[in-house]
Structure 1
């Protein structure tokens, strides 16, 4: 399973472990991912996504999954999240 956030595209970064003797060895910094269930108010459905905790805080800050996805760039989203975003846009267009 890939270690990439489905909403922000945040993935592993690389860096160095630096010892007291200043020896450097390669290491990976992994994003803090968790499997969460987020609900869409417009679609009245719940979606299970693998999201970083930073993205989860952003979703709460913006007012829910619908508001987050409406402002998100499709390039950052996973294919599953892009599909959800398009369903939300269709539902919003049908309501208007």
Structure 2
């Protein structure tokens, strides 16, 4: 499973780990990615989405139909 959200496009961010002596090494921050299955009434089927937790809250607010429309508008296949 890739560390990329299908709705928001959230993906890993890179930066530096800084030690006590101030030496810097590269690190990454991964988004909290979850796999969720939603029922889409208009298509009469379930869809499995790879979402960040922020996107799950967004779907709770705007609804799955609007979220699927946004994902398709980005050109992603569901």
* Shorter-chain TM-score above 0.5: yes
Unaligned runs of 5+ in 1: 81-96
What secondary structure sits across from 1:2 in the alignment?
A: coil
Q: Does 1:69 align with 2:68?
A: yes
Higher helix share: 1
What residue is the counterpart of 1:59 in the other structure?
59
The C-alpha deviation readout for 1:50-85, integer Å capped at 9, x for no partner, is 1111100111011x2102233x2633x6322xxxxx
Aligned pairs, how many? 77
Shift >6 Å, 4+ stretches: none
Unaligned runs of 5+ in 2: none
The two structures, once aligned, show a CA RMSD in angstroms of 1.8
Q: Does 1:79 align with 2:64?
A: no
Deviation at 1:7, TM superposition (A): 1.6
